[in-house]
Structure 1
Amino acid sequence: MRTRTVTMQPGPLRADARRNREQIIEAARTLFLRLGPDVPMEEIARSAGVGVGTLYRRFPDRDELIKAVSLDTFSRLAELATRAEREEPDPATALTRLLHSALELHLGLATASMSAPGKRALMDSPEVSAYRTEAIAVVGRLVRRAQQEGTIRPDIGPGDVAVALAVVSRFLPPALLPTDLPPTENDLADMARHRLFTLMIDGLRTTPGTPLPGRPIEDQDVETLRRQRTPF
């Protein structure tokens, strides 16, 4: 007698599983930004509206969850890069828009508490590599186009832009500052980060002069930033 093979078609359970996974990733991203990458897994499950068992079935450990969040973030970066290049006719404006989006994505935030093997696995991931390559390729095209138009200085390459952005990104987002700080000190760190970002962008241009956000950072502000553990 011939054995009949029955192929199971995706049903509601598979759709629910996909939805649960997306909810967990989004909840983890939000909590990583608000509370830091060491937030308890139980809190992530609660915020995602799923049970802890469901979370661990999808992501057996923290590294796996961080990897999923990071992969999703790199995917968003690649999408934002493509959109900026397509929608902004001026290459310098498109480059600024893309770099600002990358800054707000906090690319390295989730991996801060990742184990060394986990970080290596993430950086060696073909998916992450593909998204990163796609975004850097867009940066390269925008830089070259802007240089041809004379709006970006001719002595830089896309690698200079990536390194400068990495330096600016080292400033902690306000959400990760100690919770007992007054709001004004949280605002100071955010203002300093955006002023540094604007200075970086102006350093790329042939004719700098973009108005800086906020106010000048005084000497006493430096001590305040040190207390916040803001690296510089």
Structure 2
Amino acid sequence: MEQPTSASLRADARRNREQIIDAARTMFLRMGVDVPMDEIARAAGVGIGTLYRRFPDRAELIKAVSRDSLHEMAEVARGLERDEPDPTVALRDLLRTFRDRYLVIVMTAVSAHAFETLKDTPAVIEDRDELLVVVGRLLRRCQEQGTVRPDVAPGDLILAVAAISRLIPAPGDELGAMVFDRLFALVMDAFRVGSPAALPGRPVDYPDVTQLRQHGGLAGFGRA
């Protein structure tokens, strides 16, 4: 019988890792970051031993999911800021990316469990901070252009997308997907200049998100 080559073994390892990451992202989405590891292995189509060889514990898996997704989002943010001349279009498309990868926002912005796991992970922190900087720059350009209301800050955008994303529909749920898209469009429309009602309080920035999380004000996020 032909023996597997080192190249094929590396390819198998990469494929297993991708399957586990994809399954974990989906399971975290559906059940929160405390989903049993054996359920993640089952969804990935690998044995529990394979999962633990790749990711010795839950913390390492959370880091890997966040690292991969945040890096992808940071790449999208850099590309949009560089290539899209209209800041309103760039910000809209970036928020759609946030929506489609909302798990990362929930995990890194508001979930206390995941935040504790990720807070000392330089690669995650670097990509997250870069995303916040790009969002802030695009938002200011939109406000200077007069297309986004002046009384909002990046934290308002992040929390709005995270809140909407708690209602993500199940795969194949066409009605749920349609309602979700409408709700996202309605909330995004509220950020436009010309919205009739003034917002209470003051603009929410990322330090406010951090304070809310520390005080338990976001306890419902990141959980099933």
Bigger RCO (CA 8 Å, 6+ sep): 2
Task: Return the offset for 1:57.
Answer: 1.1
Q: Does 1:61 pair with 2:57?
A: yes
Q: Distance in 1 between the 2:114 and 2:91 partners?
A: 31
| Number of the residue aligned with 1:204 | 191
User: Is residue 2:169 matched to residue 1:174?
Assistant: yes
Q: 1:197 to 1:116 in 2, by over 3 A?
A: closer
CA contact (8 A) 1:35 1:175 kept: no
CA displacement 1:41-81 (0-9 Å, x = unmatched)? 44544554543322111112333223311221212221221
Amino acid at match of 1:199: L
Give the Å deviation of 1:206: 1.3
TM-score, normalization: structure 1?
A: 0.65
The corresponding residue for 1:101 is: 97
Q: Figure out how many residues of one structure are paired with residues of the other and give that number.
A: 188
Question: Is 2:64 aligned against 1:77?
Answer: no
Contact 1:74 1:107 in 2 (8 A): no
Find the aligned partners of 1:68 and 1:147 in 2 and give their Cα distance.
35
Deviations 1:79-136 (A, max 9, x none): 2212222332211111111111101112258859xx9665402134222211111111
Identity, % of aligned pairs?
54
**Rounded Cα–Cα distance in structure 1 between residues aligned with 2:105 and 2:39:** 18
- Report the equivalent of 1:21: 17
Larger Rg: 1
Unaligned runs of 5+ in 2: 1-5, 197-222
Q: Residue 147 of structure 1 contacts residue 153 of structure 1 at CA under 8 Å; is this kept in 2?
A: yes
After superposition, where does 1:131-150 map in structure 2 within 5 Å?
A: 131-150=127-146
Find the partner of 1:90 among 73, 76, 86. Answer: 86
Q: Structure 1 residues 50, 168: CA separation in 2 closer, same or farther (over 3 Å shift)?
A: closer
SS across alignment from 2:66: helix
